[in-house]
């Protein structure tokens, strides 16, 4: 491996490589370059004026948000994870982008990335992105400057994860466990939603699963299924458990037969150990995983995603609540549309019927912040603990009745009154 590893005479690792007006980007989730961000904390004052940063889903608080915000303007794909710290400081400008569009925007320059910070594993004479390809693969390919931490505890994966040493401007060796993402155990409501979802999933279906307690509860309820496949934006410990239980074989997928395909792994060390040099796993770019033409070629392609609220016409909001960004568009709209282009496919959105301890209905007359993550034209099936609402092919009035039937009983009267004013 020939990547340069020298630091500048000033002792800086990153800041002396940044020009005025440059935009920084680093990997999300498990690809967060913790050691580089620790170094960046000590270099904030040396960053030139006009520096910007673009963030994906951040999971740590390694970076000093207050000091960073005093110097750098932050844009992000949403307020999920620890991105909310920047929102609290008034320094979060949201980039409302479908995940499938991010790689192309980076490569075309519409979303210009000048300096990419990344965590890599060593792979023979080259490097490897490890658990996540997503947008960082394109940032590494296109940025003027690439600074890498080479982590001997990061898994090596197959797919769109190869990085040539020539792309690395400066690097440091590190050794620390990858960032872990632990999902809380499901409660009674989540388990009931998972049970209802499992009723809709036949043997041999291929699954796309979102992040969180409800998707994990659904996966647990699918342990008795056979020959399931995986083609997803992210996977975690729940998918690994299904594979180890023998429920997932990928045997019936006509595309990538025998392979689990995902843009990234967001889980714990259990998932990373499973992923390391696993020849039955492909970590691919969103250009592939979120491509509706690929999804359309997979029969019985079933998406299991969540939302913050759904209105009575079928519009879905997975991004904001009370005027705050707490989620992101991600692959929500990509997969909802892709699932419905599949023969026998289903695009599911599952959510508890209430929030704030039962005080607020998550089935609403109109989306509260006016933010539509997925349009009503792409709505298919909505699941709460009170049942399943099938929306595809139904009129506005029919949708409203179906959604009111799965809303919490305490809110059904008001929703029924509101439905009379829908168009």
Among 22-36, 288-302, 397-411, which is the least confidently predicted range? 22-36
pLDDT in tens, 347-361: 999 999 999 999 999
Average pLDDT, the chain: 94
Are residues 45 and 19 part of one domain?
yes
Rounded CA gap, 123 and 182, in Å?
A: 27
CATH number at residue 58: 3.40.1080.10
Are residues 347 and 300 part of one domain?
yes
Ordered DSSP codes for 143-210: -SEEEEEEETTSPP-SBS-EE-GGG-SEEEEE--PPP--PPPPP-HHHHHHHHHHHHT--TT-EEEE-
Rounded CA gap, 106 and 103, in Å?
A: 5
The pTM (predicted TM-score) of the whole model is: 0.94
Q: Indicate whether 195 belongs to any domain.
A: yes
Are residues 204 and 169 part of one domain?
no
DSSP secondary structure code for residue 158 in this structure:
S
Give the helix ranges, DSSP H, for 25-171: 34-41, 65-69, 84-88, 102-108, 136-142
Reference 151, options 180, 170, 130, 125; nearest CA is: 130
Q: Indicate whether 7 belongs to any domain.
A: no
Are residues 112 and 64 part of one domain?
yes
Contact 32, 122 (CB under 8 A): no
* pLDDT score, position 95: 96
**For tokens 């710290």, what's the residue?**
85
Are residues 251 and 164 part of one domain?
no
Rounded CA gap, 84 and 344, in Å?
A: 38
Q: Indicate whether 1 belongs to any domain.
A: no
CATH number at residue 409: 3.40.1080.20
Q: Indicate whether 333 belongs to any domain.
A: yes
pLDDT in tens, 107-135: 999 999 999 999 999 999 999 999 999 89
Q: Are strands 93-94 and 23-26 parallel, antiparallel or unpaired?
A: unpaired
Q: Indicate whether 9 belongs to any domain.
A: no
Bridge partner residues of 150 (DSSP): 120, 173
Q: Is the pLDDT of residue 9 over 70?
A: no
Q: Which domain, by its residues, includes 61?
A: 15-174
Query: Going by C-beta distance under 8 Å and a sequence separation of 6 or more, which residues neighbour residue 15?
Result: 40, 43, 44, 46, 47
% of residues, the chain, pLDDT over 90: 93
Are residues 157 and 238 part of one domain?
no
Q: Give the residue from 174, 205, 220 where a domain finishes.
A: 174
**For tokens 């034209």, what's the residue?**
377
Reference 335, options 371, 369, 378; nearest CA is: 378
Mean pLDDT value of segment 274-302:
97
Rounded CA gap, 415 and 403, in Å?
A: 9
Q: Is the pLDDT of residue 8 over 60?
A: no
pLDDT band at 10 (very low <50, low <70, confident <90, very high): low
Are residues 238 and 153 part of one domain?
no
pLDDT in tens, 156-190: 999 999 999 999 999 999 999 999 999 999 999 99
* pLDDT score, position 238: 96
Q: Indicate whether 265 belongs to any domain.
A: yes
Q: Indicate whether 181 belongs to any domain.
A: no
Q: Is the pLDDT of residue 230 over 50?
A: yes
Rounded CA gap, 200 and 350, in Å?
A: 12
**For tokens 């919490």, what's the residue?**
408
Query: Going by C-beta distance under 8 Å and a sequence separation of 6 or more, which residues neighbour residue 329?
Result: 77, 78, 96, 97, 98, 99, 318, 319, 373
Backbone angles phi, psi at 36, to 5 degrees: -65, -40
Buried b (16+ CB within 10 A) or exposed e, 84-115: bbbbeeebbebbebbbbbbbebbeeeebbbbb
Q: Give the residue from 174, 206, 233 where a domain finishes.
A: 174
Are residues 142 and 279 part of one domain?
no
pLDDT band at 195 (very low <50, low <70, confident <90, very high): very high
Q: Indicate whether 351 belongs to any domain.
A: yes
pLDDT in tens, 247-259: 999 999 999 999 9
- What is residue 38's three-state secondary structure? helix
**For tokens 């620790």, what's the residue?**
38
Are residues 398 and 337 part of one domain?
yes
Q: Give the residue from 174, 198, 222 where a domain finishes.
A: 174
Rounded CA gap, 288 and 295, in Å?
A: 9
Q: Is the pLDDT of residue 2 over 70?
A: no
Backbone angles phi, psi at 231, to 5 degrees: -140, 105
Are residues 398 and 254 part of one domain?
yes
Paired tokens of 238: 């729940």
Q: Is the pLDDT of residue 1 over 50?
A: no
Number of domains in the chain: 2
* pLDDT score, position 389: 98
Are residues 153 and 240 part of one domain?
no
Rounded CA gap, 216 and 238, in Å?
A: 6
Within 13 A of 87's CA, how many CA atoms are on the CB side?
18
Are residues 193 and 170 part of one domain?
no
């Amino acid at each position: 491996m020939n990547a340069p590893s020298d630091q500048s005479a000033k002792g800086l690792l990153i800041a002396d490589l940044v020009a005025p007006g440059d935009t920084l980007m680093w990997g999300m989730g498990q690809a967060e370059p913790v050691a580089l961000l620790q170094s960046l904390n000590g270099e904030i004052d040396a960053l030139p004026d006009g520096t910007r940063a673009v963030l994906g889903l951040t999971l740590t608080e390694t970076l000093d948000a207050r000091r960073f915000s005093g110097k750098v303007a932050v844009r992000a794909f949403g307020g999920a994870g620890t991105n909310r710290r920047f929102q609290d400081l008034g320094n979060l400008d949201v980039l409302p982008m479908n995940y499938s569009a991010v790689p192309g925007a980076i490569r075309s320059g519409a979303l210009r990335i000048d300096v990419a910070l990344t965590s890599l594993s060593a792979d023979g004479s080259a490097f490897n992105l490890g658990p996540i390809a997503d947008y960082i693969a394109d940032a590494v390919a296109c940025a003027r400057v690439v600074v890498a931490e080479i982590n001997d505890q990061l898994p090596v994966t197959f797919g769109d994860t190869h990085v040539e040493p020539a792309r690395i401007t400066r690097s440091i060796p590190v050794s620390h466990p990858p960032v872990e993402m632990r999902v809380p155990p499901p409660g009674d409501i989540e388990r009931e939603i998972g049970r209802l979802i499992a009723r809709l999933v036949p043997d041999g279906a291929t699954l796309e699963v979102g992040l969180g307690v409800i998707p994990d509860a659904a996966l647990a309820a699918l342990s008795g299924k056979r020959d399931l496949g995986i083609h997803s934006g992210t996977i975690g410990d729940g998918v690994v458990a299904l594979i180890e239980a023998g429920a997932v074989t990928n045997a019936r997928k006509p595309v990538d037969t025998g392979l689990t395909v995902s843009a990234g792994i967001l889980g714990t060390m259990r998932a990373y150990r499973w992923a390391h040099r696993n020849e039955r796993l492909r970590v691919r770019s969103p250009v592939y995983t979120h491509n509706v033409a690929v999804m359309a070629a997979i029969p019985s392609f079933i998406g299991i995603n969540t939302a913050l609220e759904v209105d009575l016409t079928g519009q879905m909001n997975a991004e904001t609540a009370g005027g705050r960004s707490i989620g992101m568009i991600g692959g929500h709209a990509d997969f909802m549309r892709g699932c419905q282009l599949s023969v026998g496919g289903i695009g599911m959105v599952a959510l508890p019927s209430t929030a704030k301890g039962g005080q607020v209905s998550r089935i609403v007359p109109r989306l509260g912040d006016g933010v539509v993550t997925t349009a009503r034209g792409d709505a298919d099936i909505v699941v709460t603990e009170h049942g399943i609402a099938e929306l595809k092919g139904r009129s506005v009035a029919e949708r409203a009745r179906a959604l009111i039937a799965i809303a919490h009983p305490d809110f059904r009267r008001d929703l029924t009154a509101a439905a009379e004013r829908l168009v």
